[in-house]
Structures are given as structure tokens and as C-alpha cells.
Amino acid sequence: MKTIRLTTAQALVKFLNQQYVEFDGQRERFVKGIFTIFGHGNVLGLGQALEEDPGALEVYQGRNEQGMAQAAVAFAKQKRRRQIIACTSSVGPGAANMVTAAATASANQIPLLLLPGDTFASRQPDPVLQQVEHRHDFTVTTNDAFRAVSKYWDRVSRPEQLMSAMLHAMRVLTDPADTGAVTVCLPQDVQAEAYDFPEAFFQQRVHRIDRRVPTAADLQQAVELIKRKQRPLIICGGGVRYAEAADELRRFAEKFHIPYGETQAGKSAIESEHAYNLGGIGVTGNLAANLIARDADLVIGIGTRYTDFTTGSKQLFQHLAVEFLTINVSPYDACKLDATKLVADAKLALPALEAELDRAGYRSAYTDQIAQVKQAWADELARLRQIRYLGQGFVPEVAGHRDEVLPAFVETFQSCLTQTEVIGLINELINEDAIIVGAAGSLPGDLQRMWQSRRPHTYHMEYGYSCMGYEIAGALGVKLAEPDKEVYAMAGDGSYLLLHSELVTSLQEGQKINVLLFDNASFGCINNLQMENGMGSFATEFRFRNPTSGKLDGGWMKIDFAQSAAGYGVKTYRAHTLEQLKEALADAKQQPCSTLIDIKVLPKTMTAGYESWWHAGVAAVSGNSKVAEAYRHKEAKLKTARKY
């Protein structure tokens, strides 16, 4: 057997260079590069290996380990899981910072390869700097925290373990049914140790992402179910995008006259204008999709995990005879909601179903309801885009919470822009093929409802983990995946403050991203959530501590986000009027470097409602009668929801 003598880290780099995926006959290199923040625990091992011979791997320098790993998640998501950027961190805090991104990847089923440094396998110098000592168990390190958020976890305690670890890492990273974060922990001594690796370990490997074929029995069952139903509704989930099944879905909907709602992950598979596309469904969905959902007698979920936001906490579907049919490559997701399962790739399953239903002459019983609800939503959308603040008597979309503070906000921030008019304008002015990126706050709701996607894969929302801070890091990842397109991070002020470090990386790499920062001086959606459920406004507005009350109910904190980003070298703008926003958007397009538009938007002017319910824990006992009322409301709603 021929061998090559390398350190563990050198062998890892050599191995990563030899990985390819093949999908529908197209072969692509799987690992584009590696994000690094070097410290002890990785610089002398993996760092040395990358300096000596990175092969084709692009080496990036991150700013915050969470940020760089979130960028890697976004990159893989935008590449529809067919290419990744790996991430390496030093031992201890550097590693721990990546745990949140690992969870983001696993929740969203996006491949992410994490290579955190680990404490010495030999234990000779223990405890090393940044080591948490576990007195009850020497095998536990900070990196065990990744176990809870990884789809595959391993620790390479001897160089030769690298071989089995990496084969399994690749198995999980390229599995469309169960991918997510893969964490391979690398003790710092082992990274630098040499071993005679068999040459065969470094052969070129092609991992085929096969399309799962539906079984005849599954198909038959599904056809029989559809034939019994008059008012089916399709849910277009992320799986439609990963399977590139948009054309098949479009044809299926048209042929059998079946409308579909979009999840956050499924949005922009097909353009919003399509006659059967009802738009966003669920808690953050719109009236068209939610009304059809209420009365549907069959829900056909395609590539969806049926999260609470999609199903309105299982309360959205009110037809007494409603049943579920699920097309999904994952048996785990397919059996949710006690559905009839069609475990298969959507691109194969839909045409197979189509052939059978064609033969049976199937057509849904909808007459003009689809066109009607779509038109009603278009009218509502036009209204939302036109909402202007007119001073006294103005009623915001989220009314009755903090109506009285709006004039003070206008006075302090010198802006009376409403969030819905701003979104409408942005949607109108940015390029059709520009990609918007979001994750948390009130924007995902507004965007799922309001955003009109015109081109495929232009809507990139991380709403599996809804992790604040993903927006800007994610925009960098998306830009690396699609360098020819303008990319816009849609971020609230809360998200921006939580994490925007990779904005600097975008400058360093010359990868232009545009940050559209919606400053409403609050954790706005959480303020809504608490006040909708009877609480007061409590620690969710960005106000100074008031020396009189001792509470956070002083004046607004005025933050000049434009100035903060300008300090990094970002081209910045301030938008207090629609005219300023228009000019800024136009100018930003011309810039070669990253830009940020600091948009001051009135609180409470985001969208709300539209016939959905979200099951959130409400206090069962409270001296506040409004909370007690909210609890009664929750209990009543719960009675109308499916039990499982």
C-alpha cells in the first residue's frame, strides 16, 4: 500500500481538495474554501497546512466565528447545498462562537463543515489557556456543545481517525434528507502529528446527490387521496428549490387548478405573479394563502418541515375533513401531521403524480376563488405600499400599543417613513435579479407577505433558526455564491447591533453587499408580541435608563448607524424620506464597495394579522387582567388547533 506522510491537518486539506458532488450529471468541486480565525488550537496545525499547500481552497479571514460560519451557511444555502465553505476556529471561545451557526445550519438543513480546534489529546499541558476543566469527565471539552446542534459530530483524537471521520462527514454533508452542521473537532496536538496516510484516501471522490424515486405504492396512495379531494392546497417549501422542481410544480398547479402558498424557504421558487402562487402562508403569511388554507380539504406539503410558522401552530387548516399529503426526501419530515407519505424527490414525484391524475381526468373544484383571493391580496398590498404617516389621527398597522409615542419618534428621528412603504419602494427599485437576505425581527413577516419575487432564488430567508445577525454575514455568503448579483441584507437595528462584523470582511474581499437597515429603535416584533399578549412595553424599546423611574423608559437612544458603518469604509446614506431612499438606492447600485442605508422607520408600521395564530407561551396566572385575557384567548385558539 502506498502511503503519504502528512500531518493530520495537511491530510485534511488534501482530502477536502478532492471532494466533488454530482447532481443531475453536473460535477462541481464541493469545498470552495475555508473561513479562518486563527488562534492557538488551529494556527500551527490547520493554519500551517493551509499556508504550505491550500490546493484550490480559497482562504478567507473572518471577523467573528459566528459571523463567518453564518456566511458559510448562507453560501451553501444559496448554492442549493451543492458547495460549501468550511470554517476553522481556535480552541475554546473561538469554537464556542460557532455553535450558534451550527444550529442555524442544522435547523435549516444546510451543510456546514466546522473544524474547531480542541484541547490536547495527550493532556500533557492541561489545563491549557481557554480550556474549561470538567472535573467529572476529561473527555468533555467546549466542543461537546456542538453535539446538540450537529447532524454529525466527531473528534479526531489520533491522526488515523481522520479517515473514517471525513468519510462520514461527507456522507452527512451531501445527504439531502438529513444534512446540517458537521463538526469535526481537531485537538491541537493531533492536527500537527504526522501519519502515513494511504494514498487511496486522497483519491478524487464524487458524491452523487441522487434523486429519490417514488415507489409505485406511495404514488398510488397519493393519487387516490388527491382524487377524493376538491379543495387541495400545495405548500411550496424549500425542498422545491433544492430539487430544482419549480417547473414541475408550476405545470402541476396549472394542469390541476391547484393553488400553492410559499414558505420562507420556498419563496422565489416561482415568481410571485404566477396565477397559482398565493404568496406567503402561515403566521407570517398573507390573506390569500391563509384563507384558502382555512378551507382546504387537502394540504400537499412539498419539501416543507411544517414549522409552526407555516402551519399557524397547526391551527391554520380548519376544514373538518382536511388531510395531508407530503412529498419529501426525508421520511422524518414526511410523517409529520400524520400525513400520507410520498417519500421522494419533488422533481420526480410531481410528474409521476401528474401522469396518473391526468389519466383520471382530475381537476380541483375551485372556480374563481383562486383569482379572487389573489386580487384581494393585490389590493391589500397596494394599500400597504401606500401607507403614509399623516400626523395626528394616524393609525399604524399594529395599533393600540404605542400610538402615543409615534409623534415623539418623528420628532426625535426626523423621519415619518412607514416600514411597509419602504419595503414597497425597495421592491420596486432594486434590480429584478437582486437577492434579498433576511432572518429575524419583523422583516421576515413583512417580506414573506409583501415581497414580489420576479426571478428564481432571489429571496433568501433564514427562518429555520431565525438567527439575528445572520442578515449581514449571510449577505456576504450569498455574494460569494452569486458574485454577479446585487445582494441586499434586510436587517433591523436589533439584528445589526447583534452582529455585523462580516461587513468588514465584505470590504476586505471586495465582495459588495448592501445593508438596508430598518431602525425603529426597538426589538419591534418582540415589543408587538409582548403587547399583543397583555404585557406593557418592557425592555424592548431602545431607551435610556430613566433616573427617575430607574427603568428603561427614558428618551430614545439615537444611533447614527450610517456613521458607524462609514468608519469601516462602507459607503453610507441616511434615509428619512422616500426621496432620500430613492436616491440612496440608485447611488448604492453604482458603488463598487459595500453600502449601508440607515433608514429610520416608525415603530408599529410593520404588517400584522391576516388570519393566523402563533402558539406562544402566555402566563397562566397574572395580576394583569390583560395577560389573563390573552391567556384565555390562547386557550380558546388551542382548542381549534390539531393536537399533533
Residues engaged in binding ligand TPP (CB under 6 A): 440-443, 466-469, 492-495, 498, 518, 520, 522-526
CB-based contacts of 124, cutoff 8 Å, min separation 6: 189
* Sign of the dihedral defined by the CA atoms of residues 423, 279, 239, 27, in that order: negative
In the complex, least distance from residue 547 CB atom to Mg ion, rounded to whole angstroms: 25
Partner interacting with residue 495 (select from ligand LX7YND4F, Mg ion, ligand TPP, none; CB below 5-8 Å by kind): ligand TPP
Q: How many residues bind ligand LX7YND4F (CB under 6 A)?
A: 5
Question: Of these, 424, 477, 524, 534, which contacts Mg ion (CB under 5 A)?
Answer: 524
Does 527 help bind Mg ion (rule: CB under 5 A)?
no
Residue 198, H or E segment? strand 194-198
In the complex, least distance from residue 541 CB atom to ligand TPP, rounded to whole angstroms: 10
Partner interacting with residue 12 (select from ligand LX7YND4F, Mg ion, ligand TPP, none; CB below 5-8 Å by kind): none
To the question of whether residue 509 is assigned a binding role by annotation, the answer is no
Residues 158-163: contacts with CB under 8 Å, at least 24 apart:
158/121, 158/190, 159/7, 159/8, 159/11, 159/190, 159/193, 159/194, 159/195, 159/197, 160/195, 160/197, 162/8, 162/11, 162/12, 162/15, 162/197, 163/197, 163/198, 163/201
HEC secondary structure over 562-607: HHHHHCCCCEEEEECCHHHHHHHHHHHHHCCCCEEEEEEECCCCCC
Question: Of these, 444, 464, 469, 534, which contacts ligand LX7YND4F (CB under 6 A)?
Answer: 444
Q: From CA 599, how far away is CA 618, in angstroms rounded?
A: 33
Q: Are 282 and 370 in contact (CB under 8 A)?
A: no
Does 535 help bind ligand LX7YND4F (rule: CB under 6 A)?
no
Partner interacting with residue 444 (select from Mg ion, ligand TPP, ligand LX7YND4F, none; CB below 5-8 Å by kind): ligand LX7YND4F
In the complex, least distance from residue 525 CB atom to Mg ion, rounded to whole angstroms: 8
Residue 170: Cβ-neighbour burial (10 angstroms; 0-12, 13-18, 19+):
buried
Q: Which of 426, 490, 448, 432 is nearest to 278 (CA)?
A: 448
Q: From CA 150, how far away is CA 152, in angstroms rounded?
A: 5
Q: From CA 272, how far away is CA 298, in angstroms rounded?
A: 22
End-to-end CA gap in the chain = 55
Q: Which is nearer to ligand TPP, 277 or 466 (CB)?
A: 466
Q: Are 596 and 513 in contact (CB under 8 A)?
A: no
Does 282 help bind ligand LX7YND4F (rule: CB under 6 A)?
no
- With contacts defined by CB under 5 A, name the span among 175-183, 394-402, 446-454, 488-496 that binds Mg ion: 488-496
Q: Which is nearer to ligand TPP, 400 or 569 (CB)?
A: 400
In the complex, least distance from residue 489 CB atom to Mg ion, rounded to whole angstroms: 14
In the complex, least distance from residue 434 CB atom to Mg ion, rounded to whole angstroms: 23
Restricted to residues 492-521, the positions that interact with Mg ion (CB under 5 A) are 492-494, 520
Partner interacting with residue 239 (select from ligand TPP, ligand LX7YND4F, Mg ion, none; CB below 5-8 Å by kind): none
To the question of whether residue 520 is assigned a binding role by annotation, the answer is yes
Q: From CA 83, how far away is CA 489, in angstroms rounded?
A: 21
Cα dist from 329 to 108, 278, 308, 326, 333, whole Å: 15, 24, 20, 10, 8
Q: Are 100 and 73 in contact (CB under 8 A)?
A: no
Q: Which is nearer to Mg ion, 327 or 535 (CB)?
A: 535
Type of residue found at 89: S
**Residue with smallest beta-carbon separation from ligand LX7YND4F:** 440
HEC secondary structure over 381-395: HHHHHCCCCCCCCCC
Q: Which is nearer to ligand LX7YND4F, 88 or 520 (CB)?
A: 520
Q: From CA 298, how far away is CA 371, in angstroms rounded?
A: 19
Restricted to residues 403-442, the positions that interact with ligand LX7YND4F (CB under 6 A) are 440-441
Per-residue binder mask for ligand LX7YND4F (CB under 6 A), 512-531, x = binder: -------------x------
Q: From CA 456, how far away is CA 244, in angstroms rounded?
A: 10
Q: Which is nearer to ligand TPP, 94 or 494 (CB)?
A: 494
Q: Which is nearer to ligand TPP, 185 or 423 (CB)?
A: 423
To the question of whether residue 428 is assigned a binding role by annotation, the answer is no
Partner interacting with residue 238 (select from ligand LX7YND4F, Mg ion, ligand TPP, none; CB below 5-8 Å by kind): none
Restricted to residues 30-59, the positions that interact with ligand LX7YND4F (CB under 6 A) are none
Partner interacting with residue 30 (select from ligand LX7YND4F, Mg ion, ligand TPP, none; CB below 5-8 Å by kind): none
In the complex, least distance from residue 243 CB atom to ligand TPP, rounded to whole angstroms: 28
Residue 217: Cβ-neighbour burial (10 angstroms; 0-12, 13-18, 19+):
exposed
Does 475 help bind ligand LX7YND4F (rule: CB under 6 A)?
no
* Sign of the dihedral defined by the CA atoms of residues 62, 63, 66, 72, in that order: negative
Residues near ligand LX7YND4F (CB under 6 A): 440-441, 444, 466, 525
Write out the binding residues for thiamine diphosphate.
65
Write out the binding residues for Mg(2+).
493, 520
